[in-house]
Amino acid sequence: MAENENFRNDFPLLRQEMNGRSIVYLDNGATTQKPESMIRAMCGYYGGCNANPHRGAYALSVEATGIYETARERVRRFIGAKEAREIIFTKNATEALNLVAYSYGLTNIGPGDEIVLTVAEHHSNLVPWQRVAKARGATLNYIYLEPDGNLSEADIAAKITNKTKLVAVAHVSNVLGLVNPVRRIADRAHEAGAVVVVDGSQSVPHLAADVEALGADFFAFSGHKLLAPMGIGVLYGRAALLEAMPPFLSGGDMIEYVEEQESTYAGLPAKFEAGTQNVGGAAGLTAAIDYLEALTFAKIQKIEGDLLAYALPRLRALPWISLYGCDSGRDNKTGIITFNVKGVHPHDVATILDSEGVAIRAGHHCAQPLMKYLGQAATCRASFYFYNTRTDVDRWLDALEKVREVMRVGH
């Protein structure tokens, strides 16, 4: 893998050390590292053209507006939306999903209605729906899993009924790393007259996601999981749905006329972007998308597929490792490997790996219902990105041996 070794040069952080060792960063599902070009774009914005967009008539404000709206158009093309006004900038995927819950959910879901989720949802696409269900007297129904971790086909068929008003599903599970059959779920939901909310946080960084092809009515993702800075996220929504929805946050920039007792609201997308927006983050997001598109998703998938093919057989050969979601027969596995070292708690695994310069995630991965369903209090998760190498996998697996040595398990 000499080729992707070179990507590391684009990432200043990956050239540093952690605990005296070069960093093996395998927590890309949590957030990715940032390329120099993205960091330069952020600095360029703040150092060269910072001003409040959509307000001042002076050149800097016009330039800031241009940068912000360029990012919107860039995102539109990136995820295959029809119109730029269908792209709403948020803080992150969580805020985007909350926007849908509070604005669409509270307005359109009522007593006796049903919301269908999968048991593998991240809390960000689960807790908001619990709150909507509680507030409106609706019921939450879950799609459970097949033994291999894929969504139960029987549940997809049975749980989405004519009482279902909304289906919330992750494009890729952040724990199991499996691509869900979103199109099929969307078709089923649309037949039943429900809308589909897709959490794209774990898919958009790794594969070409197209909201039209997926049949998504709403689609959310965070910039920071795809090379962009923290604090910028995206909500895509079908224009007809967004137009009919009430505002989520209100205040400056989202209005037309404000009287003492009444206001009228701006059109899309401004109606959902109250207050000064994260233009620096949007500039970073544009640079991040530029980087990914120059690289191409074909190459990203080839690299991540190679890392999976290199790591999984070696992990399977270790009788003291348990794997979760790693045996899908559907060719839909992304670069997320969730595992446990038998006899050692995940947090101890992560701490000892850290001492070897290897960063992984341990815990419930913001998916407590899934952990309960899997019968695990917690698990470890290693998640790849294109700048990871086979050497990283070697270092990780060597460090797992060290875990057993330190914890005096099997030694």
Partner 1 sequence: MDIESIYTELIAEESRSTEHRRHLEAPTAALKGRNPSCGDEITLELSVRDGIVEDAAFTGVGCAISQASTSLMIGLVKGQTTGKAKKLAETFLAMLKSEIPAGDPALDELGDAAALQGVARLPARVKCAALSWHTLAEALEKEV
37 burial level (CB within 10 Å; 0-12, 13-18, 19+): middle
CB of 372 to partner 1, least distance (A): 11
Nearer to partner 1 (CB atom), residue 9 or residue 19: 19
Nearer to partner 1 (CB atom), residue 185 or residue 359: 359
CB of 345 to partner 1, least distance (A): 4
Q: Which residue is catalytic, options 43, 49, 326, 366?
A: 366
Answer yes or no: 43 catalytic.
Answer: no
- Distance (Å) of CA 262 to CA 256, 257, 258, 265: 11, 8, 6, 10
Q: What is the amino acid identity at position 312?
A: L
CB of 93 to partner 1, least distance (A): 20
Nearer to partner 1 (CB atom), residue 138 or residue 382: 382
Distance of CA 107 to the CA centre of its chain: 26
Complete DSSP assignment for 156-200: HHHH--TTEEEEEEESB-TTT-BBP-HHHHHHHHHHTT-EEEEE-
What is the chain's alpha carbon radius of gyration, rounded to the nearest angstrom? 22
Q: Give the C-alpha separation, 95 to 91, whole Å.
A: 6
Which tokens hold the place of 258? 């404000």
3-class SS of residue 74: helix
Nearer to partner 1 (CB atom), residue 139 or residue 351: 351
Nearer to partner 1 (CB atom), residue 206 or residue 364: 364
Name 96's Cβ contacts closer than 8 Å, sequence gap at least 6: 88, 90, 218, 220, 221, 233, 234, 235
CB of 142 to partner 1, least distance (A): 21
Positions touching partner 1 (CB under 8 A) are: 19-20, 344-348, 351-352, 354-355, 362-364, 371, 377-378, 406-408
CB of 351 to partner 1, least distance (A): 6
Picking from 233, 254, 258, the residue whose alpha carbon sits closest to that of residue 245 is 254
3-class SS of residue 256: strand
Q: Which residues are catalytic?
A: 366
